[in-house]
Amino acid sequence: MALADARAIHPDLATCPADLVREAGALAALRRWAGRYAPMVGRDGADGLMADISGVAHLFGGEAALRADLHARLERAGFTAHSAIAGAYGGAHALARHGGGIIAEGALAEGLGGLPVSALRIGHDAAGALDRLGLRRIADLIPLPRASLARRFGPGLALRLDQALGLQPEPVAPDPERPNFAVRMTLPEPVGLHADVMAALSRLLDRLCATLGQRQMGARRLRLDLVRVDRATAQVEIGLARPMRDPGRIAALFARGVEAVDAGFGIEAMRLCAFVAEPLAPVQIAAGRAAPQDGVADLISRLGARLGFENVLRLAPAESLIPERSFVTLAAAYAPDLPSDSASDPAFGRRDGPPRPITIFPPEPVAVAAESPAGHPPAWFRWRRMRFTTLRAAGPERIAPEWWLDDPAWRTGLRDYWRIETHQGPRLWLFHTPQSPGAQGWRMQGVFA
């Protein structure tokens, strides 16, 4: 029910926001822990687990003893749980959510008959329709012909009923285990020299990158744990600008951090873990040469390790004809890679449009000759305390403001842009607002290369 309705019934109701991420993490941890009772344990919705205990119960002294041990351990851990044991997945699901218990083998119909039809994992609408017909319990559905139920309520109701009674198979499907990209090494003798540590790291990277390659994954963040003789642990952590599994390039990024580690009386064990990995499909590269973008990725990785990845920025094109909005600033490590010829891709730039300045800045006032004819660029003008004389001019290019956005800088309306070549050398980008009278509407906004 709605929260307001619940508080109307019980004014002292205590509530707190649900943390779905932590709840999912807790359920995943419980799933791993429940492996002590069954070889296959899967999730059952967002708040339940389903375990296949076939051939396991006798190890605990029977099904009742297994269930009692489960509840005792969960209670000591601070959990309130309801459980059921039945010969079918659907039967165990229904009974666990309606009191729990154990259904003897071959007695599913009797054990589930008194439960409401909503226990069959059917939708709210189907359960309501059955209730209006007077079919409120599972026992009311069992003697009915399956063809009639399927014709009236769809095939889902008949399937769920047969699954609850064990007439249709429904195996437990455990979630696949997340791959653990970590390798370790115990050294026969403690080492302390930088070269020795890097040599051991190279062996670890070869093994780790081979495992990443088998999964078509690439490392984004790695952590190296160095265990000293006195049992103290030093950590070196690096981040990468994009997924990578090249041992040589990764080792070079570790060199600076390993050199700063205090080895003490020596390092006797090492562990390397890629705790953040992303998909990385195989790519075809020329023999003996790295891909063109590898050098940029290595540079961003080195700068990010020293300055922080959020402080290494890049410009990316944006879908706007307004000069100030034609680009956005993104963290280089997390921005999508641009193609090497980005101008050829309509998604990253326009090759067929008018040229744009290499530097764009907010509009700055320009003093122009008062005798300049309307609709033409000025013969001379002053900008930043310098006088310029027009040699050539190309334009105008009219840009209209984006009417769906209220930008104070564009409230003056239309702009006519001119590309100006001056006798003094600079190539400038001027615009004029036709709404402004005379020489007052000229502004400078860019410089060409």
What is the set of domains in the chain, with CATH numbers?
A: 24-164 (no CATH), 182-290 (3.30.1490.100), 313-344 (no CATH), 359-447 (no CATH)
Residue 334 reports pLDDT greater than 80: no
The pLDDT value given to residue 446: 92
**Highest-pLDDT range among 331-335, 400-404, 445-449:** 445-449
**Helix residue ranges, H only, 217-266:** 247-259
Q: How far apart are CA 113 and CA 119, in angstroms?
A: 11
- Point out the least confidently predicted range of 214-223, 271-280, 404-413: 404-413
- Point out the least confidently predicted range of 103-112, 335-344, 406-415: 335-344
Between 320 and 382, whose confidence is greater? Answer: 382
pTM: 0.55
E strand spans, 7-76: 40-43, 49-52
- Region for 377 from its dihedrals, namely left if φ exceeds 0, alpha if ψ lies in -120 to 50, beta otherwise: beta
Q: What is the pLDDT of residues 33-65, one digit of tens each?
A: 999 999 999 999 888 999 999 999 999 999 999
Residue 291 reports pLDDT greater than 60: no
Residue 350 reports pLDDT greater than 60: no
E strand spans, 30-174: 40-43, 49-52, 84-85, 101-102
The pLDDT value given to residue 345: 43
Q: What is the DSSP letter of 398?
A: E
- Region for 438 from its dihedrals, namely left if φ exceeds 0, alpha if ψ lies in -120 to 50, beta otherwise: left
Round the average pLDDT of the chain to a whole number and report it. 87
The pLDDT value given to residue 358: 87
Q: What is the pLDDT of residues 169-206, one digit of tens each?
A: 999 988 877 788 999 999 999 998 999 999 999 999 99
Single-letter residue type at 60: F
The pLDDT value given to residue 70: 95
Q: What is the pLDDT of residues 422-435, one digit of tens each?
A: 999 999 999 988 87
Q: What is the pLDDT of residues 100-113, one digit of tens each?
A: 999 999 899 999 99
E strand spans, 104-260: 182-191, 217-228, 233-244
Tokens representing 112? 């589930």
Residue 67 reports pLDDT greater than 60: yes
SS3 275: strand
β-pairing, 386-399 vs 380-383, is antiparallel
For residue 374, give the nearest of 446, 433, 332 by alpha carbon: 433
SS3 432: strand
For residue 365, give the nearest of 448, 446, 442, 447 by alpha carbon: 442
Which of the four pLDDT bands, split at 50, 70 and 90, describes residue 337? low
Cross-strand bridge partners of residue 318: none
Q: What is the pLDDT of residues 128-155, one digit of tens each?
A: 999 999 999 999 999 999 898 888 888 9
Q: What is the tally of helices (H) and strands (E) in the chain?
A: 12, 17
SS3 374: coil
The pLDDT value given to residue 132: 92
